[in-house]
Amino acid sequence: MYIKIHHSSIITPNSKLILFLLLIFVACSSPQVEITWDEKLFSQNNDGLLYQQKVFSGTLVKYYSNKKIASKQRFDKGKLEGLSEKWFENGQIQERRFYSQNQKIGKHEAWWENGQKRFEYEFKNDAPIKKHKEWYSNGQLFSVNNYDENGQPVGVQQMWFDDGKIKANYEVKNGRRFGLLGAKGCMGNNEKTLLNEK
C-alpha cells in the first residue's frame, strides 16, 4: 500500500497526525508474529507446530541462558517456511537452512564453533541434489558426494580421514558403485550418522 501526498496539499498538524496513524495502521496490517520458545505452550501433531493448541504461523525464537539467541525458525501454518538459523552460544553462526512447507530446499550451510565450514548441501523438495561437501573442524575436507535431480547418488563420491588421507573414492554408475569403498564397505556407521544429519 502506497500513500501519495501531492505537493499542492496543505499539511496541517491534524493531517500530520492522521498520516502518522495511517502509517502505523498500514505497518501493523501484516503482523510478523515472533514468539519465544516455551515447551509448555508449544506442541506438535500431524498439522505441524502448534502454539497454545493452534497451528502456528510466525517466527519461533530460542535463547541461551545468557540471553543470546540460539535459533530462529519461521513457520507458516505449522510448517517450516523460509530461512531457519542457529547460532553457537558465543554468537557465531552455526547453521543456515531453507524450507518450503517443511521440505528442505536450496542451499544449507553449517559451521564449526571455530568458524570453519562444517557442511554445504543443496536440496530440492527435501531430496539432496548436486554436490554436497563436509569438512572436519580443522578445515580438512571430509567428504564430497554428488546427487542427481532425483536425490540419487551419481558420479564421483569421496571421503578423507582428518589427516587428509583418502578413505573412500568410488563412482556411482546406474546405481552401482565402482572403486575404493572404504574400510567399512559402502556405508559404515560414520557415514550413516552423517546422512542422518542431512
Give the helix ranges, DSSP H, for the chain. Answer: 13-28, 189-197
What does the CA dihedral 69, 71, 72, 76 come to, rounded to 10 degrees? -150
How far apart, in Å, are the Cα atoms of 148 and each of 131, 141, 167? 9, 21, 23
Is 102-198 a domain of CATH 1.10.3470? Answer: no
Contacts of 136 (CB under 8 A, 6+ apart): 142, 162
* Span 128-187, pLDDT tens digits: 999 999 999 999 999 999 999 999 999 999 999 999 999 999 999 998 999 988 754 444
In this prediction, residue 26 has a pLDDT band, given cuts at 50, 70 and 90, of very low
Ordered by start, the domain boundaries in the chain are 34-86, 102-198
Nearest residue to 59 (alpha-carbon basis) of 73, 77, 76, 39: 73
Task: Give the pLDDT mean for 44-49.
Answer: 91
Strands (E), 46-198: 48-51, 54-55, 58-63, 69-76, 79-87, 93-100, 103-111, 117-124, 127-128, 130-135, 141-147, 155-160, 166-173, 176-180
Task: Give the pLDDT mean for 42-66.
Answer: 93
Residue 7 confidence (pLDDT) above 70: no
